[in-house]
Amino acid sequence: MPWSLPADKAGAGFSWDFPYSLKLMAHSQKPVIIYGGSFDPPHKGHMALAAAALRQLEPAALYFVPGWRTPFKDFQPVPFSRRCGMLAKALRGAGLAGRKGVSISSFEAGHRRVVYTFETIGHFQKKHPGAPVYFLMGSDCLAGFKQWRRWRGILKKASLLVGLRPGYSPGAAHGVPFVALRGRFPRAASSGLRGALFLGEKPSALAGPVLAEIERNGLYHDRELRYLKANLSSARLRHSLAVARLAMSLAPGLGLSPQKAALAGILHDCARELPGSGVAIARKGLAGVFPGRKSENMLYVEVISKAPVLLHAWAGAALARNLFGVKDREVLEAIALHATGAPGMGKLARLIYVCDLAAEGRGFKAAAWIRRLAGLDFPAALRAANYVKLSSAFSGGGWVHPLSVSLWNSLQEKKNG
């Protein structure tokens, strides 16, 4: 009979037929809890889960195991040593530092590669032979658990110990058995927090000492924000922040990373106020960003003479890659196409295209309406944004980029098809 946690609700596949004392006596050893993750940054939700697990299980040990790099992350994480420093601050702030058995493990960092959960669990099983092992996580991780490497093997070696967060429904577990901690726990995703930090915000989900550590070391795209403050007017910077903020809020509903949305949003106009809209940067860097695209020919054949201001979008993509080291092609595409759009552009590019027009502070009469529509029917908002941009260009007697017209035609075909 396994040692297990008494709870008001059990995960799929578990039943609670015996009193807590009998279950506790079934094992001669107290359990061991592993709390793995990026902790990038560590937040109050992490601490709440750990505190509840300590209180309810009274384990022999609880190991925080920051990953060197996890397999599902979009970007390189903050360096391991910095994340450990933030984690130590978070533990002290939550009153968990110095608690018997609580420690930060460098096991995964010692490999300097992606280390999979089944490997981490095997390590601590050897360290605590015979002890029941629990792997701690928030309920938002359950939906994707079956994508983890050797997930069945994980369940054979350890029980999943889950803190239920707002929005959890039993179906989200997809038949994965788990043990539920008592209580409900705050929703706080590290990806969203990274996006907020990138915008210069101070999320309440981060403890004061953690925020101080972030500011002291200039973490989370501080370099990009400093560059924009130095090279954009205050009005252009406000617009960039508004685009990033709107994109970050809409991203989860579109299945996109809030951090990627924030990065693309804040950098979309990074070359907007360079001399000549960054013609030189565009010429040098564009071929390396999107080699072989037909839109490159359109750029140089017509744009330089008819609408050179549009060059800033392509120059911005080159600047993001060459100056800030952005390698994510979805982010680069979103920056490059935010002014014209293009048929077949990806989801992130469509998001930034809409947000550029609809962000708070925009002078377009339809901006506020499209902003509201984007949260309800994004494809309709995309069509509306494209229509407004085309109408504005035609009514002003300006030149319209062929890509914008092609986008309109493709959207109409999809709508009528």
d(CA 75, CA 166): 26
Q: What's residue 325's pLDDT? A: 85
Domain-located, residue 60:
yes
Name the pLDDT band for 141 (thresholds 50, 70, 90): confident
Name the pLDDT band for 19 (thresholds 50, 70, 90): very low
Q: What is the dihedral of CA 53, 57, 63, 68, to 10 degrees?
A: -50
d(CA 202, CA 374): 26
SS3 of residue 275 by DSSP? helix
Q: What is the dihedral of CA 204, 208, 212, 218, to 10 degrees?
A: -20
Q: What's residue 249's pLDDT? A: 92
Q: Are residues 152 and 242 in the same domain?
A: no
Q: Are residues 242 and 344 in the same domain?
A: yes
Name the pLDDT band for 278 (thresholds 50, 70, 90): low
Domain-located, residue 296:
yes
Name the average pLDDT for the chain: 84
Domain-located, residue 266:
yes
Q: Are residues 230 and 184 in the same domain?
A: no
- Of 90-94, 156-160, 393-397, give the lowest mean pLDDT range: 393-397
CA dist 92 to 87, 186, 287, 300, Å?
9, 19, 50, 57
Yes or no: say if 244 and 198 are a contact pair by the CB < 8 Å rule. yes
d(CA 329, CA 317): 10
Among the candidates 177, 195, 213, a domain finishes at 195
Write out the residue range of the structural domain in which residue 237 sits.
222-416
Flag whether pLDDT at 341 surpasses 90. yes
CATH number at residue 56: 3.40.50.620
Flag whether pLDDT at 156 surpasses 50. yes
Q: What's residue 111's pLDDT? A: 85
Q: Are residues 143 and 236 in the same domain?
A: no
Q: In the predicted model, what is the mean pLDDT of residues 163-179?
A: 84
Give me the residue label for tokens 């590669």: 113
Q: Are residues 251 and 363 in the same domain?
A: yes
Q: Are residues 237 and 131 in the same domain?
A: no
Helical pair 329-336 and 311-322, crossing angle rounded to 10 deg: 150
Q: Are residues 118 and 189 in the same domain?
A: yes
Q: Are residues 388 and 259 in the same domain?
A: yes
CATH number at residue 363: 1.10.3210.10
CA-based torsion, 107, 110, 115, 118: positive or negative: negative
Among the candidates 157, 179, 195, a domain finishes at 195
- Of 153-167, 189-203, 225-239, give the lowest mean pLDDT range: 189-203
Domain-located, residue 14:
no
Q: Are residues 240 and 190 in the same domain?
A: no
- Of 60-64, 122-126, 143-147, give the lowest mean pLDDT range: 143-147
Residue % of the chain over a pLDDT of 70: 84
**Considering its fold, how many domains does the chain have in total?**
2
- Of 1-10, 34-43, 106-115, give the lowest mean pLDDT range: 1-10
Q: Are residues 168 and 265 in the same domain?
A: no
pLDDT: is 24 or 339 the higher one?
A: 339
Bridge partners, 163 (sequence order): 138
Q: What's residue 396's pLDDT? A: 67
Flag whether pLDDT at 21 surpasses 50. no
Q: What's residue 195's pLDDT? A: 77
Q: In the predicted model, what is the mean pLDDT of residues 205-229?
A: 88
Per the confidence metrics, is the pTM higher than 0.85? no
